[in-house]
Amino acid sequence: MTALIASILPVGVRYAEAFDDAVPAPLFPAEERLLTGAKAKRRGEFATARRCARDALGELGIAPAPLLRGPGGAPAWPPGVLGSLTHCAGYRAAVVARCERVRVLGIDAEPAIPLPDGVLGLVTSPGERAALAALAPGVHWDRLLFCAKEAVYKAWFPITGTWLGFRDATVEFDSTGAFRAVVRAPGGPGGFTGRWLAGDGLLLAAVTA
């Protein structure tokens, strides 16, 4: 079966995904130490996402190894590799690519449900909210916007090593499945482009270049 995320990724990006934590996902001892005190749900998500990462890295010919945390808590990928992880209720995924093929890479997944009350106003500008209101019904655009901004941040941080606030990026959607993010924070790219997908009760966004 074709991976759900495959349709929004360019050639050269390897991926793996899972829809639950049923498949055993053993961790390296160094990864186990990152989970000290974690609850079962957190352990399952973490381990399955790491298994996805190892499967995707294997497509690049990279042997299994601990995937630990780097600066800011982001995954510390092997030298010469960019990657991104995501997990939400009912979905876990990893994407990786060689740095000579891809310059930026970030993904996020969210359940296809509205954002909780009050959240949209915290993560958007008035202009973004007006643009969302004008989009055709059938997609939870508020949650998709949140998803796209998370993907933008995951692409931004490895380049800059700095945090990016939700209101530092303005996202515009295209009904064909594309989006553009304009970033006003200094020290990095002024914008990103990406693809989005709604299906199987999920919203996915990927930023690549």
The pLDDT of residue 1 is 53
The pLDDT of residue 176 is 87
The pLDDT of residue 169 is 95
The pLDDT of residue 157 is 94
CA dist., res. 110 & res. 91, Å (int): 8
What mean pLDDT, rounded, does the chain reach?
95
Task: Report pTM.
Answer: 0.95
The side-by-side arrangement of strands in the sheet containing 191-199 is: 105-111, 202-208, 191-199, 178-183, 169-173
Inform me whether the pLDDT recorded for 139 exceeds 80: yes
CA dist., res. 143 & res. 145, Å (int): 5
Nearest to 103, CA basis, from 204, 6, 181, 188: 188
The fraction of the chain above a pLDDT of 90, given in percent, is 93
CA dist., res. 79 & res. 70, Å (int): 12
Nearest to 198, CA basis, from 8, 20, 15: 8
Nearest to 162, CA basis, from 70, 72, 68, 69: 72
Q: Which tens digit of pLDDT belongs to each residue from 28-44? A: 999 999 999 999 999 99
In this structure, which long-range contacts are made by residues 21-30, counting pairs with CB atoms below 8 Å and at least 24 apart in sequence?
21/45, 21/47, 21/48, 21/92, 23/48, 23/51, 25/50, 25/51, 28/65, 28/66, 29/66, 30/66, 30/68
Can you tell me the mean pLDDT for 119-134? 95
The pLDDT of residue 71 is 84
